[in-house]
Chains A and B, each alone.
Chain A
Amino acid sequence: MSAPQWNNKVVKWVDDRLPVISMLHHSAYEYPTPKNLSYMWNFGSLAGFVLVTMILSGIFLVMNYTPHTSMAFESVERIMRDVNYGWLIRYIHMNGASMFFIVVFIHIFRGLYYGSYKAPREMLWWIGILILLAMMATAFMGYVLPWGQMSFWGATVITNLFSAFPIIGDPLVTWLWGGFSVDNPTLNRFFSLHYLMPFVILGLVVLHVWALHSVRSNNPTGVEIKTPKDSIPFHPYYTIKDLYGLGVFLIFFSAFVFFAPDYLGHPDNYIPANPLVTPPHIVPEWYFLPFYAILRSIDFTIFGIPAKLLGVLAMFASIVILFVIPWLDTSKVRSSKFRPVYKWFFWLFVIDTFILGYCGAKAPDDYFLGIPGLKVIVMGQLSTLYYFVHFLVVMPLVGKLERTKPLPASISESVLKEGANA
């Protein structure tokens, strides 16, 4: 990578001393990108956009928010009613959280489908999982800040998860709370961390992009770039494609912000927190529902480990397991496009996560989709089982046994072939 020669004197002066412009030029301009990326590759840059939007809207919300149990709810309502465009900024932030998860979940599913976690992209994948974990922590703590009923009881339930650990559990929870229940100290520390975490995420994103740019983007064929003919410079080809995708996404986002701002939220969070009354039906935000379903599915004891601890472990394991899939997947082929058997299991897994989400939203004793005799808890247990079976059994076995389709010799060959078929 030879440093480009800058004609502008100021640019050259700066770049000779701190080659930041060259760096940006390499990574956002000439970065050689596979020429066959589909629209599924738009979601990475979209996630970056949403992160920036969240930080920006968050900073402006903080200018009017008061992190105190006696004023948090009121200050949020003041933002909604009195602050100029406060309602807009808050609805952007509120729905932006959901958008962030939609975009990131699609991004992760894309990675799973096209085998983007496989060597040499393990570090890239790991950093991605860390980003997901950081996002979950941030979203959870952010949801507590308006200090509504769901904020309060969500905080109570989730922090109580840690009491499942033997011996250290109870002191740990007291430490998390800074008291003997979720109260003002808890709200204050969540506020502090909620402000900190986005910048941690931002740092992780820089690492994520760095890792990406050193191993190069995967692509729908899963075949690496071999000759210069396989790639095109990032700019203008992918900058414009990303911008077009951003336009489509913004329409989707705006539809929620302006026309259904509370659709993804829960009415109980417009009731101020009341430590004496638990709402009859506590559900987390939709993006936590699959994990919540896994937590709740474990209502039995194994080897004397209590259900409560098992549930917590299963929930954490459902994410931690993602760290080891580069080794659980034994297939030599990356892209599911060329894996006729695994492809079906992939879609089964996607459906499985949807079922988990549905189960997480329902009371355990409800009937699944109203089917008599099929309790939500049972369906949740089956789906939890498949969730882990998929990674621990299907991935290693199918990878070994499956007869994959022949791979194209190169990206440009596959492009030409598809072009001829079209």
Chain B
Amino acid sequence: MSQTVHSSGEHQPDENRRDFLTLATTAVGAVGVGCALLPFVDSMNPSKDVLALASVEVNLANIPVGQAIKVMWRGKPVFIRHRTEREINEAEEVALNELVDPQTDDARVEKKEWLIVVGVCTHLGCIPMGTATGETRGDYDGWYCPCHGSHYDTSGRIRRGPAPLNLVVPEYEFLTDTSVRIG
């Protein structure tokens, strides 16, 4: 039904030139479409106000030894545990080859008595139990994720269960002995 009045065959001598021109235009057009989509994609990245609020200051003075608190940072809980002497020893004495994700306790804390980790299970993102007094802390005295049974130790390292990695240590900085800025 289509009646191509001028089949491309009639343009033999020009064939190459037309191809080049068309090709070049198509390429330029494609680049244009690609560039036009970038702002839309970028608009879904964290916005400037979200990035600006990416740090939080926490006062540690009110956390007695042996207890832990949860604070919100970037919409996620951060666990801050004031560790007992026993907990610190436990964390330091583990042999690295027993660990799923080998890391020394030293590498995970700035000050031995304060353990600060992002409270999100590295398996599928649940919040492990063990921060509030009385909650189960799992078989290794750290945290226990109820979703799929991951056990973390007193350094927040994964010891048993499906989680592949240790609890993440966020960037933080002690401003004074009793105050810390996370992020």
**Are A and B close enough to touch in the complex, i.e. CB under 8 Å?**
yes
Chain A interfacial positions (CB closer than 8 Å to B): 1-2, 29-30, 32, 35, 56-57, 60, 63-64, 78, 81-86, 88-89, 228-229, 231-233, 243
Measured CA separation A233–B5 after assembly (Å):
9
B2, A233: Cβ atoms closer than 8 Å:
yes
* Other 18 A-B pairs with CB < 8 A, given A32-B2, A81-B49: A30-B2, A32-B3, A56-B40, A60-B40, A64-B43, A64-B47, A82-B47, A82-B49, A83-B43, A84-B43, A84-B47, A84-B48, A86-B43, A89-B40, A229-B3, A231-B3, A232-B4, A232-B5
Which 4 pairs across A and B sit closest by C-beta, in order of nearness?
Answer: A30-B2, A85-B39, A228-B3, A82-B49
What is the minimal beta-carbon distance from B180 to any residue of chain A, in angstroms?
A: 27
User: In the complex, are the beta carbons of A84 and B5 less than 8 A apart?
Assistant: no
User: Would you mind naming 16 contact pairs between A and B with Cβ atoms under 8 Å apart?
Assistant: A2-B1, A30-B2, A32-B1, A32-B2, A57-B40, A60-B44, A83-B47, A83-B48, A84-B39, A85-B43, A88-B39, A89-B39, A89-B40, A228-B5, A232-B3, A232-B4
Q: B44, A63: Cβ atoms under 8 Å? A: yes
Other-chain residue from A2, A84, A229, A243 in contact with B45 (beta carbon distance below 8 A): A84
Which parts of B139-174 form the interface with A (CB within 8 Å)? none
Q: State A104–B133 Cα separation when bound (angstroms).
A: 67
Task: Please state if A81 and B48 are interface contacts (CB–CB under 8 Å).
Answer: yes
- Closest B residue to A29 by CB, please name it: B2
A63 to B45, CA, bound (A): 11
Against A, the Cβ 8 Å flags (1 = close, 0 = not) of B117-142 are 00000000000000000000000000
Q: Are A233 and B47 in contact (CB under 8 A)?
A: no
CB nearest to B40 among chain A residues: A60
Q: How many A-B residue pairs have CB under 8 A?
A: 57
Q: Which of B39, B45, B48 has the most CB of A within 10 A?
A: B39
Distance in angstroms from B48 CB to nearest chain A CB is: 4
Q: Choose among A2, A35, A57, A82 the residue that contacts B48 (Cβ–Cβ < 8 A).
A: A82
- Interface contact B47-A229, CB-CB below 8 Å: no
In the assembled complex, which residues on chain B have CB atoms less than 8 Å from the CB atom of A81?
48-49
With a CB–CB cut-off of 8 A, which chain B residues contact A233? 2-4
Q: Which listed residue (B42, B43, B49) contacts A63, Cβ 8 A?
A: B43
Nearest residue (CB) in B for A412 is B5
Which residue in chain A gives the minimum CB-CB distance to B49?
A82
Expressed in whole angstroms, the Cα–Cα distance for A109 and B149 within the complex equals 69
A60–B36 CA distance with the chains assembled, in angstroms: 13
Closest beta carbon of chain A to B85's beta carbon, Å: 47
Instruction: Return A75 CB to nearest CB of chain B, in Å.
Output: 11
Rounded to whole Å, the gap between the CB of A314 and the closest CB of chain B is: 42
Nearest CB of chain A from residue B32's CB, rounded to whole Å: 9
A1 to B40: give the CA distance in the assembly, Å.
41
Name the interface residues of B1-44: CB closer than 8 Å to any CB of A: 1-5, 29, 39-40, 42-44
With both chains docked as a complex, state the minimum distance between the C-beta of A61 and any C-beta of chain B, in angstroms.
Answer: 9
A63 to B43, CA, bound (A): 9
CB distance from B35 to the nearest CB of A (A): 12
**A84–B3 touching, CB < 8 Å:** no
Give every chain A residue within 8 A of B49 (Cβ-Cβ): 78, 81-82
How near does chain B come to A343, taking the closest CB pair, in angstroms?
31
Contacts of B48 in A (CB 8 A): 81-84
Q: Are A60 and B43 in contact (CB under 8 A)?
A: yes
- Give the CA-CA distance A83 to B29 in the complex, in Å: 27
Contact call B5/A86, Cβ cutoff below 8 A = no
Contacts of A2 in B (CB 8 A): 1
Q: How many angstroms between the C-alpha atoms of A63 and B29 in the bound complex?
A: 28
A89: chain B residues within 8 A (beta carbon): 39-40, 43
Cα–Cα, bound, A30→B3 (Å): 8
Minimum C-beta distance from B104 to chain A (A): 39
Measured CB to CB, the closest approach of chain A to B66, in angstroms, equals: 42
- Chain A residues positioned under 8 Å from B47 (CB to CB): 64, 78, 82-84, 86
By beta carbon, the residue of chain B nearest A86 is B43
Question: Which residue of chain B lies nearest to A1 when distances are taken between CB atoms in the complex?
Answer: B1
Question: Which of B2, B4, B39 gathers most chain A CB within 10 Å?
Answer: B2
Task: Say how far B54's CB is from chain A's closest CB, in angstroms.
Answer: 13
Which chain A residues border B1 with CB–CB below 8 Å?
1-2, 30, 32
For the complex, what is the distance from the CA of A185 to the CA of B159, rounded to whole Å? 52
Q: In the complex, which residues of chain A have a beta carbon less than 8 angstroms from the beta carbon of B50?
A: 82
What's the nearest-Cβ distance from chain A to residue B56, in Å? 19
Q: Are B42 and A84 within 8 A (Cβ)?
A: yes
Q: How far is the CA of A312 from the CA of B1 in the complex (A)?
A: 50
Quick one: closest B residue to A89, CB to CB?
B43
- B45 contact set on A, CB distance < 8 A: 84
Give the docked Cα–Cα distance between A63 and B41 (Å): 12
Closest beta carbon of chain B to A229's beta carbon, Å: 7
Q: Report the minimal beta-carbon distance from B138 to chain A, rounded to whole angstroms.
A: 39
For the complex, give the distance between the alpha carbons of A56 and B42 in Å.
14
Residues of A with C-beta under 8 A to B40: 56-57, 60, 85, 89
